[in-house]
Amino acid sequence: MEEKVEKLLIIDANSVLHRAYHAIPFLKTNKGEKLNAVYGFFSIFLRALKEIKPGFVAITFDLKGLTFRHKEFEKYKAKRVSAPPEFYQQIEVAKKAINVFAVPIFEKKGFEADDIIGTITSLSLEKKKDLEIIILSSDLDTLQLVSSKVKVWTMKKGINEVSLYGEEEVRKRYDGLNPFQMNDMRGLRGDASDNIPGVPGIGEKTAIKLIKEFITLEKLYEALKERGESKESKLVFKENIRKLLERYKEQALFSKKLSEMRKDVPIKFSLEECRLGNLNNKKIIDLLKNLEFYSLINRLPGRGEKAFSEQKRMDFGN
C-alpha cells in the first residue's frame, strides 16, 4: 500500500498580511481598532489548513532593517512606499495570535522571508524526501522554487481568488519557461517592485524568448560572444538587442544574482518541530472572540455550523 505523502505549508506572512491590508481596507473592530490585515491573514490561513491539510506548518516574517541585498545594491526596493504604522502594529498582533496556534515563526536579521522560505524548503527536502511543500505567498518571486515537490499557492485578486502553481502552471504563465529560469528572465527584464534594474529596453516578452532559446543568462552571453555577427539567432543579433545586451551585461548578471532566493540562511530549524498538532480550539476561540473575528470560529478545523451555534449560546447566553 502506497504511503500518504505528508505536506509542509510555508507561509510568507508579510506578503499575505500586506495583500489582506489592501484587500479589506475598511474592517475595524467595535473598539475602532483596525485589524483588517490580521483578519485577512487568518482567513486565508484557515482556508489553507482546510484545503491543503498540511502535516507541518512554518511561518516566516521579514524583520525591520537592511538586508544583505541592500548592502550589495543600495537602491534595492528604493521606490517602495513604506506602509503606515498601523500596518506594522498589525504584524505584532498577528505574531501573538500565531503563537496561540502553536505554529513556529522563522525570521532572521539581514535576510528576507523569501530567503528563509528557500532555506526551509531546502532543509526539509533533505530531511524528508517524500514531502510535498506548499508555499503560501502573494509574491510570485517564490515561483523560482517550484519543482516536482514544491508548489506555490498564491492569491490572484484580493485574498479570495487563489491559484496553485506547479511546474506546468509556471510554464503556461511564462510561455514555456521553467521555474529554474525565473531568475534568468528577471536578470534581463528586471523587477520594478524590487527596483532590480535588469537590462533597460528589454521587456518580459523579449526576455522570455531569449531565455527559452539559450536556457540560462550565462549561456546567452556565451553565445553572444562566440557568434558575433552570426545570423543563427535573429532575435539575439538584432542590432538594438545586441547592443543592449553588451552594454548592460554586468547589470543583467547582477540582477539575476540579486533575484535568487538564498537557501543557506543560518536559522535553527527542525521539521518535526513544525508538525501541526491538535489545535487547542478553546484557546483559539477565545483569541478569535477577543479580536472580534467571530465569522472565523466556524472555520476552525473540525468545527461546523452546529458547533459554532452552540459555542455562541454558551458564550453569550442566547
pLDDT reported for residue 31: 87
CATH 3.40.50.1010, applies to 6-176+262-274:
yes
Determine the straight-line distance between the first and last CA of the chain, rounded to whole angstroms.
50
Q: What is the chain's mean pLDDT, rounded?
A: 90
- CA count, 13 A, side-chain hemisphere, 258: 27
Task: With cut-offs at 50, 70 and 90, classify the pLDDT of residue 196.
Answer: very high
Per-residue pLDDT tens digits for 17-61: 999 999 998 888 998 899 999 999 999 999 999 999 999 999 999
The domain ranges of the chain are: 6-176+262-274, 179-259, 281-316
Alpha carbon distance 114, 98 (integer Å):
19
What does the pLDDT read at residue 82? 82
Q: Which fold has domain 179-259?
A: DNA polymerase; domain 1 (1.10.150)
Q: What is the pLDDT of residue 23?
A: 93
pLDDT, tens digit, 9 for 90 and up, residues 222-236: 988 876 544 556 666
Query: Quick check: do 6-176+262-274 and 179-259 share a fold?
Result: no
